[in-house]
Amino acid sequence: MARIEKFANPTRFLRLQEAVQPWVTVITVLLFAAGLYFALVKAPADYQQGETVRIMFVHVPAAWGATMVYMFMAVSSAVAVIFRHPLADLSAKAAAPIGAVFTFLALVTGALWGKPMWGTYWVWDARLTSFFVLFLLYLGYIAVWQAIDDYHRAAKIAAVVALVGAINVPIIKFSVEWWNSLHQPSIMSTSGSSVHSSILVPLLIMVAAYSFLFLTLHLLAIRSELRKRKIQQLQLAQAQEV
């Protein structure tokens, strides 16, 4: 906890962010370039799915990003509630729009894969429905911050939404095992992967690319939130002087 607290200081965080930002940006661009090359050029078409297998290289990373970001928000909210870490609320708030975009992309790319493979864009199946609930949770979380002016009150209510909503993440993960689902089970498990390396390598590179994109945008978004808070403090001080 002492290490986390070290970066609780906004000035120290901004110094770190300025030093790290160019590196994570370059890594993100390189990962996307390599991932797209492998996904669109090197990976073979599937013997059953044909070229539609390439949808997996954007669908799976988006779905991974959506759940990973939500768990990150829930952990940040827990840290904010328990330890009153001054950056934890901001961190969760800054992550939400990025997670919402990932979730939307996972839903849309999943629907576009479903039409040629299942014959329909959408079914109210356990995995799809729980993922749609995740999208609603993101929207609800963002709406709380937009609707409440008092920062501390908004942070508290938003943290409750993030923590209660975290129950949905294991439901998403295990929905394909708990219920009869049209969605295929996980291709990765502790015992290894059921996918050939020609498909697995681009998939893992794209997952890394989406994760680094989140890191890049999240660092910038926290910086932006810190600046916004400082602007509000200065405007308030100016108004009091007048």
Partner 1 sequence: MDFAAKHIEFVLACYGISAALLVIMTIAVVLRSKQHDRQLAMLEKARGRANNSKKAAS
Binding residue for partner 1, selected from 8, 27, 139, 220, defined by CB under 8 A:
220
The number of residues making up the chain comes to: 242
**Residue count, binding to partner 1 (CB under 8 A):** 36
- Nearest-angstrom CA–CA distance, 226 and 70: 21
Binding residue for partner 1, selected from 20, 26, 45, 143, defined by CB under 8 A:
45
| Closest CB to partner 1 among residues 46, 157 | 46
The tokens describing 160, both together, are 């409750």
- Nearest-angstrom CA–CA distance, 123 and 160: 30
- Nearest-angstrom CA–CA distance, 94 and 77: 12
| Closest CB to partner 1 among residues 52, 129 | 52
- Nearest-angstrom CA–CA distance, 77 and 221: 16
Give the per-residue contact string, 86-115, with partner 1 (x = CB under 8 A; - = no).
-----------xx--x--xx--xx--xx-x
134 part of the interface to partner 1, by CB under 8 A: no
Residues with Cβ within 8 Å of residue 198, at least 6 apart in sequence:
42, 43, 44
Angle 179-182-185 from CA coordinates, rounded to 5°: 70
Binding residue for partner 1, selected from 63, 144, 169, 213, defined by CB under 8 A:
213
15 part of the interface to partner 1, by CB under 8 A: no
Give the per-residue contact string, 144-163, with partner 1 (x = CB under 8 A; - = no).
--------------------
- Nearest-angstrom CA–CA distance, 103 and 138: 9
- Nearest-angstrom CA–CA distance, 172 and 195: 21
Binding residue for partner 1, selected from 20, 26, 136, 231, defined by CB under 8 A:
231
Chain residues that interact with partner 1, rule: CB under 8 A: 40-41, 45, 50-52, 54-55, 58-59, 62, 97-98, 101, 104-105, 108-109, 112-113, 115-116, 213, 217, 220-221, 223-224, 227-228, 230-231, 234-235, 238, 241
